[in-house]
Amino acid sequence: MEVLHHPSPVLRSRAREIDPSVDDDLRELIRAMATTMYDENGIGLAAPQVGVDKRVIVFDVDDNLAALCNPVITELGEEVVVEEEGCLSVPGIMVPVERARRVVCSGQTIEGREIMIEAEDLLARVLQHEIDHLDGIIILDRAPAEKRKELIKAYNEANRL
Ligand SMILES: [Zn+2]
- Residue 161: predicted pLDDT: 86
How far apart CA 153 and CA 131 sit, in angstroms, is: 25
Amino acid (1-letter code) at residue 143:
A
Q: Residue 85 Cα, ligand 1 centroid: separation in angstroms?
A: 9
Protein residues within 5 Å, CB atom, of ion ligand 1 = 87
Q: Residue 131 Cα, ligand 1 centroid: separation in angstroms?
A: 9
Q: Residue 32 Cα, ligand 1 centroid: separation in angstroms?
A: 17
Coil, helix or strand for 61? coil
Domains and CATH numbers, the chain: 9-158 (3.90.45.10)
Q: What share of the chain is helix, strand, coil (3-state, %, to 5)?
A: 35, 25, 40
Measured over the CA atoms of residue 37, residue 47, residue 99 and residue 138, the dihedral's sign is: positive
- Residue 44: predicted pLDDT: 98
Is 130 tagged catalytic?
yes
Contact 11, 135 (CB under 8 A): no
Q: Residue 88 Cα, ligand 1 centroid: separation in angstroms?
A: 6
Asked whether the bond before 7 is cis by omega within 30 degrees of 0, the reply is: yes
Which helix (H) or strand (E) covers residue 150, if one does? helix 145-158
Distance of CA 121 to the CA centre of its chain: 15
Low-confidence ranges of the chain (pLDDT < 70): none
Q: Which of 85, 98, 120, 130 is catalytic?
A: 130
Query: Within 13 Å, how many C-alpha atoms sit on residue 128's CB side?
Result: 26
- Residue 141: predicted pLDDT: 97
What predicted TM-score, i.e. pTM, was given to this entire model?
0.97
- Give the model confidence (pLDDT) of 9-35 as tens digits: 999 999 999 999 998 899 999 999 999
Strand partners, 46: 57
Answer left, alpha or beta for residue 85, where phi above 0 means left and psi between -120 and 50 means alpha: beta
